[in-house]
């Protein structure tokens, strides 16, 4: 979705592709907080230091390698260089608030801020034994969602004179992650999911209605920046919970469905590196041939991302699992 948002034009994925980042935020909130919740349910404690170290092994090596290569290629192909401020903003994950080297790495800053914030929140909750206080945790997450909406509404209302107004600041885009964390907490600490399964198809219809603003309002419009963000994040949250059960269906055992799903899973396995590198092949093709080729760029993006996933990301993950094994 993000690839076609940035590369291709005049197709449906270009117009709704920006929401791929928000779907990723919901997924990340669910999966990453789930690591902590599962550990707590298993051991009645959480090793926050180990959690951050394991995230570091996953995130930092591919990212900083990408930054180094970007600096080298920028000077080779354009005889220009990034400003020191741009480089430092990337290095210290400030690019959701300040200009970085690339237009897509702001989402990585939001993620990094989330990891740190989640670690701090869990440390406090563990210290004061609040993690199993269901009313408190749910109320806290919902309150945070409401505050995020209010801040986003406030800044969007101030810019209603602009037809399109975009923002990347963490405090304005964190609600997708919060929806994922809330879904994860409900999944691990309440009987919500058992009730969810009983009416899952009805809730899927609700989810499709919630994400329908994607097909009605333009990204960056006032409606999309306020109510739209909230509804699509909630819709994505329902879809994530729905997907936990749907893949047990026997229909996925048939090759006509199984093979495409396995292909998507393979791409998903290498998605971090693919996301990191997805703009670079397009820039190189434009520099060499002075024209765009969506198909060639798509193929090169997949090959580049998968290659660096295997030669950079995978070795560090093996190292991580050797020294900091899963709980």
DSSP code string of 188-236: HHSSHHHHHHHTHHHHHHHHHHHHGGGGTS-TTSHHIIIIIHHHHHHHH
Domain range summary for the chain, segments of one domain joined by +? 2-250
Burial level of 145, CB count in 10 A (0-12/13-18/19+)? Answer: buried
Q: What is the pLDDT of residue 284?
A: 80
Q: Which of 196-205, 246-255, 300-309 has the lowest mean pLDDT?
A: 246-255
Mean pLDDT of 56-60: 97
Q: Is the pLDDT of residue 230 over 90?
A: yes
Q: How confident is the model at residue 293 (pLDDT cuts 50, 70, 90)?
A: confident
Mean pLDDT of 184-204: 96
User: How far is Cα of residue 214 from the mean position of the Cα atoms in its chain?
Assistant: 17
Mean pLDDT of 145-159: 96
Rounded to 5 degrees, what are φ and ψ at 199? -125, 30
Burial level of 158, CB count in 10 A (0-12/13-18/19+)? Answer: exposed
Q: How many CA atoms lie within 13 A of 225 on its CB side?
A: 23
Kindly state the tokens that stand for 311. Answer: 């030669």
Residues 43-49: contacts with CB within 8 Å, 24+ apart? 43/327, 45/126, 46/122, 46/126, 47/327, 48/119, 48/122, 48/123, 48/126
More confident residue, 170 or 282: 170
More confident residue, 24 or 9: 24
Three-state DSSP class for 219? coil
Rounded Cα–Cα distance for residues 183 and 161 (Å): 36
Mean pLDDT of 253-277: 87
- Residues 281/287/288/292 CA torsion (nearest 10 deg): 60
Three-state DSSP class for 105? coil
- Comparing CA positions, the residue from 37, 55, 27 lying closest to residue 137 is 37
């Amino acid at each position: 979705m993000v690839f076609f948002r940035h590369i291709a034009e005049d197709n449906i994925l270009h117009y709704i592709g920006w929401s791929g980042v928000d779907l990723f935020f919901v997924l990340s909130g669910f999966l990453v907080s789930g690591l902590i919740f599962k550990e707590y349910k298993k051991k009645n404690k959480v090793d926050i230091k180990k959690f951050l170290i394991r995230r570091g092994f996953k995130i930092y090596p591919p990212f900083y390698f990408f930054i180094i290569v970007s600096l080298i290629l920028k000077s080779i192909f354009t005889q220009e260089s990034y400003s020191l401020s741009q480089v430092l903003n990337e290095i210290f994950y400030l690019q959701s608030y300040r200009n970085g080297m690339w237009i897509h790495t702001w989402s990585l800053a939001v993620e990094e801020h989330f990891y740190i914030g989640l670690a701090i929140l869990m440390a406090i909750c563990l210290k004061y034994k609040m993690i199993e206080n269901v009313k408190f945790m749910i109320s806290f997450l919902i309150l945070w969602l409401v505050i995020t909406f209010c801040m986003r509404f406030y800044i969007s209302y101030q810019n209603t004179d602009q037809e399109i107004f975009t923002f990347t600041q963490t405090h304005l885009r964190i609600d997708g992650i919060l929806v994922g964390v809330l879904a994860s907490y409900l999944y691990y600490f309440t009987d919500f999911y058992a009730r969810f399964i009983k009416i899952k198809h009805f809730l899927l219809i609700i989810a499709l209605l919630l994400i329908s603003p994607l097909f009605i309002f333009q990204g960056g419009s006032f409606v999309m920046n306020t109510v739209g963000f909230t509804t699509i994040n909630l819709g994505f949250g329902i879809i994530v919970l729905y997907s936990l059960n749907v893949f047990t269906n026997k229909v996925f055992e048939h090759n006509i469905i199984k093979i495409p799903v396995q292909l998507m899973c393979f791409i998903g396995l290498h998605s971090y590196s693919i996301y990191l590198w997805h703009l670079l092949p397009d820039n190189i093709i434009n520099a060499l041939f002075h024209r765009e080729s969506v198909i060639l760029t798509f193929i090169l993006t997949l090959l580049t991302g998968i290659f660096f996933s295997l030669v950079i990301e995978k070795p560090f993950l093996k190292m991580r699992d050797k020294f900091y094994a899963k709980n």
